[in-house]
């Protein structure tokens, strides 16, 4: 079970801007095991969607990627386009937000599947491809009788189901979903998340779910990684992180969620730092309610705070080994290349 399918080490993504390099993702380590779902959360501007795009290899031109992303041992950073096309669909599926604009309005739904399948298995007969499509659609709750309809004949929720079915038709083992339900209503959202969850269990998929909704993560993910200013500040099992958050940022995020049992509104003061010129020391220090002197100078690294959870906060002993640890990691990466 604990076979790691996605292994991210020291992932960096930088954009060239007129005022210098902007490190939207700055040294992220993360593992995803087979059949495991990992939630990636944070405020907007924390780098979570950039990270999703990097994993999907959909970065805009001018973005630079460094570090290592291994999918089942295959390195994705600097991969050749031809190889990437094989991996997408066969090994890895991507689910976007905004399902309304993601299907070709002039193509029948089934033709999307036929094109995708033929790209990977050119010899597949059309009837066979259509049968595969029908099965994937049925799995996502789309009536097989409607496979030959056009996209506009489906609602937003149905289209998102079709998108997921299209992603999994080649039976990949890794799914990256970037805010898959943001545009949908709460009941449809719950339906789709249930389907994704069932799919993950049935097919033993690794799943990275990028979302700003902590409720979704709590209810569908095994582990959660909290991102702030381009870095992971806390990562661990959902049960631990949500009941006993260790990083002040996680604590603040959880407090700011408005929920049915909220009795008092709370939020984190200030806004995420400008990544062109991040604050020295801990990047969360300027907004932190438990800040002390060392936070302004020492940059904390992720340190185990329990058997399964790590946090990057100086409140926990060991997190101050920042400079050396980062240097060592960079060194190691350089030699591995």
Partner 1 sequence: MAAAPTSEQPREAAPVETAPPGAGLRSRIEHAFRPWRRANPGARYLVIAGAVITLVFLVMAVFADSVAPFGEDQYCAAEFFNAENGACIGVGPDEQIPNRAAPSREYPFGTTDTRFDVFSRVILGARVAFAVVAFSTLFAMFIGVPLGLFSGYIGGKFDRVMVLAMDAIYAFPSLLLAIMIAFSLGLRLEQLGIDAPYVPAAVAVGAVYIPQYFRVIRNHTLSIKEEPYVEAARSLGASRTSIVFRYIFFNVVSSIPVLFTLNAADAVLTVAALGFLGFGIRFPTAEWGLDINLGLADSVAGFWWTAFWPGVAITLLVTGLSLMGEGLNDIINPLLRVKGYRGKVKGGARATMAAVGAREDAAELDAEDGAAGLEGNR
Partner 2 sequence: MTTTDTLSPHTPGTDTTDDDGIMLRVRNLQTWFGHAGGILNRNANPVKAVNDVTFDLHKGDIFGLVGESGSGKTTLGRSVLGLAPVTGGEVWWRGQNLAELSERQFRPLRRQMGMVFQDPNASLNPAMTIVQGVGHPLRIHGICDDRKEIRRRVSDMLERCGLTPAARYMDSYPEDVSGGQKQRVVIARTLITEPELVVADEPVAALDMSVRAKVLELMLDLKEQLGLTYLYITHDLTSGRFVCDKLGIMYLGELVEWGDAKAIYDDPQHPYTDALLGAVPLPDPSRKGRDKNLPVGEIPDALNPPAGCQFHPRCPRAFEACGWEGSDLVDFLERRWTEVDADTFETELAATGPLTAVRTDRRSARFTAAENSRLLPMLEALRKDERHRIFTGVSDISTEGGDVVVRFVDGPAPALQPVEGRMVACHLHGVVTRT
Expressed in angstroms, the distance from the first to the final Cα of the chain is 29
Among partner 1, partner 2, none, partner that 51 touches (CB below 5 to 8 angstroms by kind): none
Among partner 2, partner 1, none, partner that 84 touches (CB below 5 to 8 angstroms by kind): partner 1
Cβ count within 10 A of residue 293 = 10
H or E segment to which residue 161 belongs: helix 156-168
Query: Given the complex with partner 1, which of 276 and 294 has the nearer CB atom?
Result: 276
**Cα–Cα distance measured from residue 302 to residue 261, given in angstroms and rounded to the nearest whole number:** 32
H or E segment to which residue 254 belongs: helix 248-256
Among partner 1, partner 2, none, partner that 208 touches (CB below 5 to 8 angstroms by kind): none
Query: Given the complex with partner 2, which of 144 and 318 has the nearer CB atom?
Result: 144
Query: Given the complex with partner 2, which of 141 and 318 has the nearer CB atom?
Result: 141
What Å distances lie between residue 3 and 6, 33, 70, 193, CA to CA? Answer: 9, 5, 13, 24
Provide the mask over 32-71, with x wherever binding to partner 1 is found by CB under 8 A and - wherever it is not.
------------xx-x-xx--x--xxxxxx-x--------
Collapsed DSSP state (helix, strand, coil) of residue 165 = helix
Hey, which residues between 264 and 323 contact partner 1 (CB under 8 A)?
A: 264-269, 272, 274-276, 289
| Residue whose C-alpha is closest to residue 323's, from 297, 296, 305, 304 | 297
Interacting residue ranges for partner 2, rule: CB under 8 A: 43-44, 135, 137-138, 141-146, 155-158, 185-191, 193-194, 212-220, 238-239, 242-243, 253-254, 256-263, 265-268, 271
**101 scored as a contact of partner 1 (CB under 8 A):** yes
H or E segment to which residue 256 belongs: helix 248-256
**102 scored as a contact of partner 1 (CB under 8 A):** yes
Q: 37 φ, ψ to 5°?
A: -115, 130
The residue to which tokens 């898959």 are assigned: 180
The residue to which tokens 């800040």 are assigned: 291
Q: How far is the CB of 332 from partner 1 (least distance, A)?
A: 28
Binding-site ranges for partner 1 (CB under 8 A): 15, 17, 22, 24, 44-45, 47, 49-50, 53, 56-61, 63, 81, 84-90, 93-94, 96, 98, 101-105, 107, 112, 115-116, 118-120, 163, 166-167, 169-170, 255, 264-269, 272, 274-276, 289
């Amino acid at each position: 079970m604990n076979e790691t399918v996605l292994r991210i080490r020291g992932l960096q993504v930088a954009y060239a801007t007129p005022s210098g390099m902007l490190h939207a993702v700055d040294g992220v380590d993360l593992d995803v095991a087979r059949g495991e779902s990992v939630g990636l959360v944070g405020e907007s501007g924390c780098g979570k969607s950039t990270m999703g795009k990097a994993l999907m290899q959909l970065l805009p031109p001018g973005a630079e990627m460094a570090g290592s992303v291994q999918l089942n041992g295959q390195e994705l950073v600097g991969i050749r386009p031809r190889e990437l096309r094989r991996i997408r669909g066969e090994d890895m599926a991507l689910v976007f937000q905004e399902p309304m604009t993601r299907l070709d309005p002039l193509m029948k739904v089934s033709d999307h599947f036929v094109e995708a399948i033929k790209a990977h298995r050119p010899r597949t007969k059309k009837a066979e491809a259509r049968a595969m499509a029908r099965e994937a659609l049925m799995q996502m709750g789309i009536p097989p009788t409607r496979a030959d309809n056009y996209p506009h004949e489906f609602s937003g929720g149905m289209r998102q189901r079709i998108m997921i079915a299209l992603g999994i038709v080649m039976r990949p083992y890794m799914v990256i979903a970037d805010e898959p339900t943001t545009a949908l209503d709460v009941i449809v959202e719950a339906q789709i998340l249930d389907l994704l969850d069932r799919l993950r269990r049935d097919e033993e998929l690794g799943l990275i779910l990028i979302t700003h909704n902590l409720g979704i993560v709590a209810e569908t993910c095994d582990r959660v990684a909290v991102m702030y200013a381009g870095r992971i500040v806390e990562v661990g099992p959902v049960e631990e992180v949500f009941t006993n958050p260790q990083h002040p940022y996680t604590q603040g995020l959880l407090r700011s969620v408005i929920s049915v049992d909220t009795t008092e509104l709370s939020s984190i003061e200030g806004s995420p730092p400008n990544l062109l010129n991040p604050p020295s020391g801990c990047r969360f220090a300027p907004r932190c309610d438990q800040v002390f002197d060392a936070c302004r100078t020492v940059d904390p690294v992720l340190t185990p705070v329990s058997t399964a959870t790590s946090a990057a906060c100086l409140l926990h002993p060991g997190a101050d080994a920042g400079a050396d640890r980062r240097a060592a990691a960079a060194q190691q990466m350089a030699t591995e290349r």
